Amino acid sequence: MQSIADAVIDLAKKHFGNYKIRNGQVIPEYCPICGGGEHKDKETFSVGLYNGCWSDMRGSCPGINGSREGTFRQLCNYYGEAAFEFSQLPQTIRSEKKIYSKPNPEKYGPITEQIVTYFSTRGISEQTLKDFKIMSDEKGNIVFPFYRNNQLVYVKYRKPRKLTEKDGPKEWAETNTEPILFGMDNVSFKKPLVITEGEIDTLALYEAGVHNVVSVPSGCKNLDWIQNCYDWLDNFNQIIIFGDNDEPGIEMVSNVMRRLGEYRCMVPKEYPELVYNGKHFNRPCKDANEILCSYGPEGLKALVDACEPAPIKGVLEVASIRRKAETFISTTRIPQLDEMLNGFIEGGVTILSGKRASGKSTIGSTFLLNAIEEGVPCAAYSGELSPSRFLEWILLPATESKYVSYVTDAKTNKHIATVSTEIEERIREWLKGKLYLFDDSETFDEDTQTAVLKVFEMCARRYGCKLFLIDNLLSLLPQSDDEIKMQARVIKKIKAFAKKYKAHVIVCAHPRKENPNSTFTSDSVSGSSAIKYSRLGK
């Protein structure tokens, strides 16, 4: 099988002109996208030999789809070449795959007349139901089967009638089954993919002649399906996100585009007014099914055909701005701190500092554990601890004091806190799928700070991580005479990452070397004026 390096070199030979191979990168003499611009700037473009990621340092280069960095697949598509098939996820991220149950297809029956009648009132034909293998359960409820490679993976249920509050939930899913996209086996990789917020919207679009359509499995807030379908989604060059026209739906569209890549996403134009049986409701249609019922298959398909690229990055129409309260990812669960900060704000950076051996790393890991307790996935980088030492560092804060035991070190005669194997295994089980660590034993083409942020980006996109820990800032800096400027640059990149992924990053920063008897203040942090931190933990 061809290696990634061979694929990169083949592309370079065809499209890059003169190039060099240096420090694990292919570097053309001139940028193959802009040719070096008016001044013929040299060696501004590079492609990693071992991961295929490309970037261009020339600020005026138009890039690809407005971006000056991206994946090897994106670069191949730009030149009309077949992309080398490999996962974009670096092997530095270690995760145990969750084990799901498989639904039993034999317990479901054919669609009933009641189900056919229910869907007919929503403009959806019996043939469309058959194309998606819609079934019924023993109580007559609608069964939405989710297939992948002809295997039934996930099942959702819905009552086939208009519901009241007394009826309970209108939809529910088979327990412990893997959430994937509804309709995956019906689509072609050669056409744009349409993703809707619900199964009925997918059926509505299919009814309108838009057959390359799927639905998210569990509404607008749960995005676990991205991780489960990540490699499958990577096959599409263009994706249309057709969410509901309400605040949660709009937020889902934004979050999904961020995770799947804005460069390949499109969205519908303004939704038309809801008009049903000649009655005007003086509001826009909420979703694809309402558009189908109001304007028929032709009107719905026309809206899909008129979809536009995602809004231009960096441009806001002032009239569209909505005032919004700060959103917090998690609390610190330390009452005095929460009284001051309320918690870790979305898109923010917290600088954590203190004198030597004052517990910066310990409190940082405690913040991660507290966030995990609140259901927030986390990721960490440790520039000083090996993976096994990092685990040991996590175990004690994660253990209730009554389960901590002590052993005596034979050399120093000191008492050392430890955790039993049984407790360790219980903590490991609790941490599965919730905490990820940058593996610095791997070799990267980039400098450490770039590699760490790229891995963090993958954790945010694939695993939905929201709280990140960098311990410590100094270990990310290259050798330089101007440490303060280097810190400011790195913090700027960290802030940009936090803002892009609506995450929060905790950064451990060492203080200046001062008199040990001096009072610790914000000015004690090395380069504090350049860092321009949003918060300081002491």
- Domain ranges, ordered by start, for the chain: 4-79, 105-309, 328-537
Burial class (CB in 10 A: 0-12, 13-18, 19+), 309: middle
Burial class (CB in 10 A: 0-12, 13-18, 19+), 218: middle
Which class is 105-309 in CATH? alpha beta
Check residue 364 and give left, alpha or beta (phi > 0: left; psi -120 to 50: alpha). alpha
Query: What pLDDT shows up at residue 93?
Result: 38
Nearest C-alpha neighbor of 311 from the set 386, 347, 258, 374: 258
CA distances from 187 to 201, 223, 500 (A): 16, 20, 30
- Do 383 and 440 contact (CB within 8 A), yes or no? yes
Q: What is the pLDDT along the chain (538 residues), one digit of tens a residue?
A: 456 777 888 888 888 989 888 766 788 999 988 888 878 888 888 887 766 778 887 777 888 877 777 788 888 888 888 766 544 444 443 344 567 889 999 999 999 999 999 999 999 999 999 999 999 999 999 999 999 999 999 999 999 988 777 777 888 999 889 999 999 999 999 999 999 999 999 999 999 999 999 999 988 878 889 988 988 998 999 999 999 999 889 889 988 988 888 888 999 988 999 998 889 999 999 999 999 999 999 999 999 999 988 766 667 778 777 777 778 888 888 888 888 888 899 999 999 887 777 778 888 999 999 999 999 999 999 988 888 888 888 888 888 888 888 887 777 778 778 888 888 899 999 999 999 999 887 777 788 888 999 999 999 999 999 999 999 888 888 765 566 777 888 898 999 999 999 999 999 987 755 555 555 455 555 544 444 444 433 3
Query: What pLDDT shows up at residue 10?
Result: 86
Nearest C-alpha neighbor of 3 from the set 46, 48, 50: 50
Query: What pLDDT shows up at residue 420?
Result: 87
Instruction: Name the maximum alpha-carbon separation found in the chain.
Output: 88
Nearest C-alpha neighbor of 211 from the set 272, 110, 130, 128: 128
Read off the pLDDT of residues 199-239 as tens digits, 9 standing for 90 and up: 999 999 999 999 999 999 988 878 889 988 988 998 999 99
Report residue 43: phi and psi, to 5°. 50, 45
Q: What is the pTM of this model?
A: 0.59
Sheet holding 348-353, edge to edge: 435-437, 378-382, 467-471, 504-509, 348-353, 535-537
CA distances from 433 to 179, 225, 268, 341, 428 (A): 15, 14, 34, 28, 10
- 2: CB partners within 8 A, 6+ apart: 84
Burial class (CB in 10 A: 0-12, 13-18, 19+), 249: buried
- Do 307 and 222 contact (CB within 8 A), yes or no? no
Q: How far apart are CA 291 and CA 260, in angstroms?
A: 26
Query: What pLDDT shows up at residue 85?
Result: 55
- Do 452 and 425 contact (CB within 8 A), yes or no? no
- Do 467 and 376 contact (CB within 8 A), yes or no? yes
According to CATH, the topology of domain 328-537 is Rossmann fold (3.40.50)
Query: What pLDDT shows up at residue 35?
Result: 87
Classify residue 263 by its DSSP letter: G
Query: What pLDDT shows up at residue 525?
Result: 55
Q: Count, in order, helices (H) and strands (E) of the chain.
A: 15, 26
Nearest C-alpha neighbor of 48 from the set 78, 79, 84, 93: 84
Tell me the residue type at 87: S
CA distances from 164 to 167, 170, 260 (A): 6, 9, 37
Nearest C-alpha neighbor of 129 from the set 138, 140, 142, 141: 142
Query: What pLDDT shows up at residue 528?
Result: 47
